[in-house]
Chain A
Amino acid sequence: MDSRSSDAAVLPPAARTPLRSTADNALKIVVVGGFGAGKTTLVGSVSEIRPLATEEVMTRAGIGVDDPSAVRDKRATTVAFDFGRITLSAESVLYLFGAPGQERFWFLWDRLFTGALGAVVLVDTRRLDESWYAIDRLEHHGTPFVVARNNFEPPRHSLAEVREALDLSPGVPLLDCDARDRESSKQVLIELVRHLYARAEAEHPHRVELESAP
């Protein structure tokens, strides 16, 4: 799959794979990245369904209104985002959202991020500047995140150089990935959940008697 163009692709609805009837708890992780960073590719690599596209209506004024009639207004626009899902257990299902990282989409963010476990910032090192806003915003909100460098080709910089260029806090995990590869994309998600686990453990020291994260 061509990860360069897939972000813009609107895939036709595939034959539906329904969730189990016992599913009762959905979780969210948001994958943020600039245009062409490979968000849809990463979501598609691990999703049990073909990534689906949907959209949200918003006004250009940037007011986060839940107002579909706003589409009658010329200042209103729709923003597409895509998602996939992973069934974790009989009860739990994880939804992965691909969200554009640019500043003008912040209103979409606020909706997707509400209740999200955390985020993956997918970085294309040729366009690092597209990640600055996302990282800044996540840090400001206190949303836990990891940064994954998507390698379309052998990287020219060390991760330490990338960390410095992004001005990442030492506590933020940074790793390499190939969004086209299922195992590699899975490791990115695992890294995020381990990071969350470590943070949660630090916040609940009375629970350290539980076995440590695998």
Chain B
Amino acid sequence: MTRVGQPARDDDPDRLYTVTGGRSQAPQHAFDVVTLIVSEDEPQPGMQSEHARILRLCARPTAVVEVAAELGLPVSVVKILLGDLLEAGRITARHPRFVPAQAKLPDLDMLKQVLHGLQKL
């Protein structure tokens, strides 16, 4: 099995296939691109290198897209890796609070917070 230690921005199909162990199914847990991932565990010896990198990266909350950018892997591949870690209890996921299925627009308090944050920039 090929292991790629250094992230590379390549689209080598074999690499992506290897990283996910050939799985193509999206995990049951739907991660949003901005779901914040937090490690709950240290990387273990013998762990798949991508899993270990994710655990190091997410020592502080890190969005799914940031994990993808740092690992140089497509977002959908990263979601599969995160699904493994979530299932194993090695990470937790902080999902976005605004879910458009429930409300078309975010509530006024949240918008006020956003406005305030932007004005402080």
Contacts and interface: CB of A to CB of B under 8 A. Distances in A.
A144 B60 contact: no
B85 interface: no
Interface in B1-50: 9, 11, 13, 16-17, 20, 22-26, 32-36
Contacts of A87: 117
A83 B98 contact: no
A95 B65 contact: yes
Interface residues of B, number: 55
B61 A68 contact: no
Interface string B41-67: 000000000000000010111110110
A54 B65 contact: yes
A67 B76 contact: yes
Given A117-B98, A207-B108, A72 B69 contact: no
Contact of B118 (A23, A83, A85, A190): A190
B96 A28 contact: yes
Interface string A1-33: 000000000100100101111011111100000
Interface residues of A, number: 63
Chain A contact residues, majority secondary structure: mixed
23 contacts: A19-B62, A24-B36, A24-B61, A26-B36, A27-B96, A27-B98, A27-B106, A70-B24, A72-B17, A78-B11, A83-B65, A89-B116, A93-B63, A95-B63, A114-B100, A117-B106, A117-B114, A144-B105, A186-B118, A190-B119, A193-B111, A200-B106, A210-B108
- Enumerate the 9 nearest inter-chain pairs by beta-carbon distance, A residue then B residue, closest first: A88-B117, A69-B24, A26-B34, A18-B60, A66-B26, A52-B69, A54-B69, A200-B105, A54-B68
Interface of A: 10, 13, 16, 18-21, 23-28, 46, 52-57, 66-72, 78, 83, 85-89, 92-95, 97, 111-112, 114-115, 117, 142, 144, 182, 186, 189-190, 193-194, 196-197, 199-201, 203-204, 207, 210, 213-214
